[in-house]
């Protein structure tokens, strides 16, 4: 693991965008694994600027996102499809048909997950997977568990995640209780992984992820086994490293 400590969210976003832009320049038709949440928003804004000034193009990029709430369709403002459209896709030249998320409207969990596995396989492998880190160590929506779930699956969100994500909804009751998430096979098969971690609330979990035992109770700890992981953490998040 390479850990880059930066001063604050601004610098994290700048470095995150440089990292992804370098990947796009090296391989203009690469497959990007993308993430939602607050951590990558500043990075996406800088990537949009890089596109606008002509430094990068997304026209040959394919993207596969980590997860989607079960029950929300893509026009729901809190769906991850809506997040990706408004925070990145609508502002760059990516071809929307080449952007994939699990189908939140598919009520049959088994079908939704099997379909997404076929999509992950169909894109031919992720070149760079971007990750945020949940307060309980989750990646995507892989919550703390007794096993590392290999494939895309339907998860029951933990109270910690529901609490963390309530800020985006009118009330906690509106937060979906279930989500579809890529499993560890999809994430770990990426050639490169970039993790963005910001803020003091992540300091303790980040220290466990980096220095603690590899256990499904701390989902991101499995990243210790991947050969090419870069973590960019701001000073508050890196305080206990």
Site string for ligand GLP, 47-66 (x = CB under 6 A): -------------------x
Alpha helices in the chain (DSSP H): 9-26, 41-52, 80-87, 109-122, 159-165, 184-188, 203-211
> Alpha carbon of 13 to those of 20, 146, 190, 197: distances in Å?
11, 33, 21, 10
Q: Check binding of 184 to ligand GLP (CB under 6 A).
A: no
Residue closer to ligand GLP, measured from CB, 132 or 192: 132
Q: Which of 181, 192, 197, 166 is nearest to 43 (CA)?
A: 197
Q: Check binding of 209 to ligand GLP (CB under 6 A).
A: no
Q: Is 158 exposed, middle or buried (0-12, 13-18, 19+ CB in 10 A)?
A: middle
Residue closer to ligand GLP, measured from CB, 87 or 161: 161
The span from the CA of 221 to the CA of 177, in Å, is: 24
Size of residue set near ligand GLP by CB under 6 A: 13
Is 136 among the catalytic positions?
A: yes
Site string for ligand GLP, 84-113 (x = CB under 6 A): ------------------------------
Work out the end-to-end distance of the chain between its first and last CA atoms, rounded to an integer number of angstroms: 13
* Sheet bearing 229-234, strands edge to edge: 2-6, 229-234, 192-197, 128-131, 31-34, 62-65, 99-100
Q: Which of 136, 149, 151, 226 is catalytic?
A: 136
Q: Check binding of 165 to ligand GLP (CB under 6 A).
A: yes
Q: Check binding of 9 to ligand GLP (CB under 6 A).
A: no
Site string for ligand GLP, 215-234 (x = CB under 6 A): --------------------
Is 65 among the catalytic positions?
A: no
Interface with ligand GLP by CB under 6 A: which residues? 35-39, 66-67, 132, 134, 140-141, 161, 165
Q: Which residues are catalytic?
A: 67, 136, 138, 143
């Amino acid at each position: 693991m390479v850990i880059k400590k930066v001063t604050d969210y601004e610098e994290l976003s700048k470095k995150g965008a440089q990292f992804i832009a370098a990947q796009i320049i090296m391989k203009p038709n690469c497959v990007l694994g993308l993430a939602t949440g607050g951590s990558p928003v500043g990075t996406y804004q800088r990537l949009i600027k890089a596109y606008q000034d002509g430094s990068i193009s997304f026209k040959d990029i394919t993207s596969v996102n980590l997860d989607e709430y079960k029950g929300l369709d893509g026009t729901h403002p809190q769906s991850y499809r809506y997040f990706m459209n408004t925070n990145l896709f609508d502002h760059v030249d990516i071809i929307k048909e080449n952007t994939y998320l699990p189908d939140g409207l598919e009520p049959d969990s088994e079908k939704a997950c099997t379909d997404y596995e076929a999509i992950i396989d169909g894109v031919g492998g992720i070149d760079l997977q971007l990750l945020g880190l949940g307060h309980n160590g989750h990646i995507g929506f892989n919550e703390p568990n007794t096993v590392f779930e290999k494939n895309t699956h339907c998860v029951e969100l933990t109270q910690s995640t529901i609490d963390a994500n309530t800020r985006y909804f009118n009330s906690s009751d509106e937060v979906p209780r279930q989500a579809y998430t890529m499993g560890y096979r999809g994430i770990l098969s990426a050639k490169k992984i970039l993790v963005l971690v910001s803020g003091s609330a992540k300091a303790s979990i980040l220290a466990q992820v980096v220095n603690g035992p590899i256990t499904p109770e701390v989902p991101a700890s499995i990243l210790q086994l991947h050969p090419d992981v870069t973590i960019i953490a701001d000073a508050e998040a890196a305080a206990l490293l």
